[in-house]
Structure 1
Amino acid sequence: MSPSSGLVAGMERHQVAVYVGALAAGALVGLAAPDAGPGLEHAINPVLAALLYVTFLQVPAAELVRSLRAGRFLAAALVVDFVAVPLVVAAMFVFLPDDRALRLGVLLVLLAPCVDYVIVFSGLAGGSSQRLLAATPLLLLAQMLLLPGFLFLFLGSELADVVEAGPFVEAFVVLIAIPLALAWLTQAWAAARPVGRRTVDALGVAMVPLMAATLLTVVASQVPKLDESLADVAAVVPFYALFLVVMAPVGVGVARLFRLAPADGRAVVFTGATRNSLVVLPLALALPDAFAIAAVVVVTQTLVEVVGMVVYVRAVPRLLPLRR
C-alpha cells in the first residue's frame, strides 16, 4: 500500500475526527487570516460542486431508478424532511429572535435536508447508507423546488424584498444539474473503458478529503464575520440543539409509521435531523449586505450539528435496535 492510499484509508476510518479537525482548522484559519475570508467565499461553490459530483458518482443511474421503487423508504424520507421538519420549524419559529436576517438564515438551513455527510453518520449508526445515497439526488432536487415556497409561507410578502430567484436557479444548475450530469457521463465512460473505471475508483477515495476541504473553506470564510454578531449568532444555538433533540423521536415515529426495517429507519432518523448548510450557504451569501448575518447563522448550524451527530451515532441504534 502506498503512503497516499494508507492516508486515505486512515481518513475513511476516522471520518468524524477528520471533519471535526477540519472545522477546527477552518476556525483557526479564519481567526489568523481574516482578510482571506472574501477569497475563500469564492472557493465555496467550486469545492462544493466537486464534493457533490463525487457523491453522485457513487450512485449509478440504474440505482437511482431502483431507489424510486423503494416506495416506503422514499415516502418516509420525504415525509420526515418535507412534512415533519417544517412543522417542527414552525413551532420554533415564533420563539426566534425578532431579526429578519437571523430568521431567514435559520429557515434556510433547517428546511433543507443534508445530502452529503448524512450518509457517513447514518452508516456509522448502522443505517441504510446506500439507500440514502441513492435517494440523494431526489432529496436535493425536492428541496430546491420546495424551499422557495416554504420561505414564502414563513416570511410572507416581505420575502420578495429580500430573496431573488437568481441564486436559487444558479444553485440548482451549479450544484445539482452539472455535477449530476457529469457523474452520469463519467459512469458511462467507466462502463465503456477500463481507464474510466480506474478513474471512478480513484475519485471514490476523494470523498472524505473533499468534505474536509469544504468544511474548512466554509468555516474559515465565515469566522471573520463573527466579531460583529457573536451575541446574535449565539442566540440561535439553543434552537439548533433543540431541533436535534426533537427530530430524534420524530424520525423514529415516522420510521415506525411506515413500518421500516431498523436499518432503513435509522437512515430516516438521520435524514430528518441533518441539515444542508453547505448547499444553502451560497444562497445565504447571495443575500443583500444587510442580511450578511444569515450566512454566519447557516454555518453555525453545522458546528452544532457535528457535535450532535456524535451523540446520534450512539443514541439512534438504541432507539431503533436490530430485531432478533
Structure 2
Amino acid sequence: MINKSILEEKQISIYIIILLISVIVGLAWDQSNIFEHAIEPIIGVLLYSMFCQIPFLELKQALKNRSFFAALLFGNFILIPLLVWLLVSIFPLNPVTSIGVLLVLLTPCIDYVIVFSHLGKGDSKSVLASTPLLFIFQMVLLPLYLWFFLGKETVGIIEVTPFVKAFFYLIVIPFVLSIITQLISKSDNRIGKSILSFSGWLPVPLMALTFFVVIASQVGMLYEDPAPILTVVPIYVTFAIIAPLTGKLSAKIFKVDVYGSRAVSFSTGTRNSLVVLPLALSLPAPENQLVAAVIVTQTIVEILFELIYIKVIPIMTNSKTKE
C-alpha cells in the first residue's frame, strides 16, 4: 500500500514520467493550450497544501541552529545572487527572458528540497524548520533583486496591478489559509487535524498535475520557436553545477556540520519555480507565456540534476567538514 513517505521518495520518478506524458500530449493535441486555464487554480491549491506542511508556527526552531541558519541565508541571498549576476553577465539575455531567469534562480525552494535533502543524507529537519524564513526573505528581497538586476526600464514591463493580484490570490491567501489550518489543528480540533493530515498527501500529485498542465499548454509554442529556451539552458546547467558548491562554501564559512552542509548545498542548488510561476503568468501577454516557459525549463533541468545531487553531494561533503 502506498503511504505518504513512499510517495515523496518516488516523486522524482513521478515527475519525470509526467514530464514525458505532458510533452507527448502537448505536441500531439492541437488544443492542448486549453490546459492553461487550469494552471492558476491548481497552483493555488498546490501552494496551500505545501504551506500547510511548513511549520510557520515553529519559527523559533529555525534560530536554534544559528550556524546552519546563517549559512543557509548567506548562501541563498548573498552568494547565489552574486552567481546569478555573473551568469547573466556571461550569457546576455533579452529583458523578457531575463525576468524568467531571475525570478526562478533568485528564489530558493521551500518544498521538495526537504525530500531531496533527506534522500541526499542531509539535515532535512533543519531545512524544514528554516522554510518559513526562506519564504519570508525571498518574498521581501525579490522585488529589490529585480530592480537591481533589471533596472527601472525593464522592471517597467511588469504591470504592478496583475502582479500584486497574482501574489495576493496565489500566495498570500494560500499562506494565510495554511496558518489558519495549522492554528486550528493545534487546538485539538478534529476537523483541522484531518484537513492538515489530508493536505500532506496533496503536494506530490498536485505538483505532478501542475507540471502536466503547464508543459502540455506551453510545449507547442516552444516546439515552434525553441530559440529563447535554448538560450537559457546553458545558464541553468552552469548554475546547477556551481550552486551546490556555493552552498558548501557558505557552510564552511559558518562551520556547519556534515549533514547541515549537505542540506545547505541542496538548498542553494534547488529553486522555487512553482511558487514564482504564478507571478510570471501575471505578466502582460504574450510575454507571460515566454517567462513561464523559461521558468519551467529550469524545473526540468533541475529535476535531472537532483538525481545527480543525491549521489554526488554526500560524497562532495564528506567527513572532512567540521562535525
TM-score, normalisation: structure 2: 0.90
The separation in 2 between residues aligned to 1:121 and 1:113, in whole angstroms, is 13
Q: Does 1:294 align with 2:291?
A: yes
Q: Does 1:135 align with 2:141?
A: no
Q: Which residue identity is paired with 1:65?
A: K
Q: Which residue identity is paired with 2:169?
A: V
**Could you tell which deviates more after superposition, 100-109 or 165-174?**
165-174
Q: Which ranges of 4 or more aligned residues in structure 1 deviate by more than 6 Å? A: none
CA contact (8 A) 1:81 1:272 kept: yes
CA contact (8 A) 1:52 1:116 kept: no
CA contact (8 A) 1:97 1:235 kept: no
The separation in 2 between residues aligned to 1:44 and 1:134, in whole angstroms, is 29
Compute the displacement of 1:10 (Å): 4.6
Compute the displacement of 1:210 (Å): 1.9
Compute the displacement of 1:138 (Å): 2.3
Q: Which residue identity is paired with 1:257?
A: I
Compute the displacement of 1:180 (Å): 2.5
Q: Which residue of 1 aligns with 2:95?
A: 100
The separation in 1 between residues aligned to 2:159 and 2:250, in whole angstroms, is 34
Q: Does 1:187 align with 2:164?
A: no
Q: Which runs of 5+ in 1 are unaligned?
A: none
CA contact (8 A) 1:222 1:299 kept: no
The separation in 1 between residues aligned to 2:259 and 2:169, in whole angstroms, is 32
The separation in 1 between residues aligned to 2:301 and 2:55, in whole angstroms, is 32
Compute the displacement of 1:322 (Å): 5.1
Q: Which runs of 5+ in 2 are unaligned?
A: none
CA shift in 2, pair 1:112/1:59, >3 Å = closer
SS of structure 1 residue aligned to 2:176: helix
Compute the displacement of 1:34 (Å): 4.1
Identity of paired residues, percent?
41
Q: Does 1:314 align with 2:311?
A: yes
Q: Which residue of 1 aligns with 2:257?
A: 261
Equivalenced residues, count: 319
The separation in 2 between residues aligned to 1:183 and 1:104, in whole angstroms, is 29
**Could you tell which deviates more after superposition, 51-60 or 244-253?**
51-60
Q: Which residue of 1 aligns with 2:168?
A: 173
The separation in 1 between residues aligned to 2:53 and 2:285, in whole angstroms, is 38
CA contact (8 A) 1:237 1:300 kept: yes
Q: Which residue identity is paired with 1:57?
A: C
Q: Which residue identity is paired with 2:209?
A: A
Q: Does 1:147 align with 2:142?
A: yes
Q: Does 1:80 align with 2:105?
A: no
Q: Where in structure 2 are the equivalents of 1:19-34 lying within 5 Å?
A: 19-34=15-30
1:5-35 Cα distance to aligned partner (Å, 9 max, x none) = 5376653342211111122222222222342
Q: Where in structure 2 are the equivalents of 1:197-216 lying within 5 Å?
A: 197-216=193-212
Q: Which residue identity is paired with 2:107?
A: A
TM-score, normalisation: structure 1: 0.90
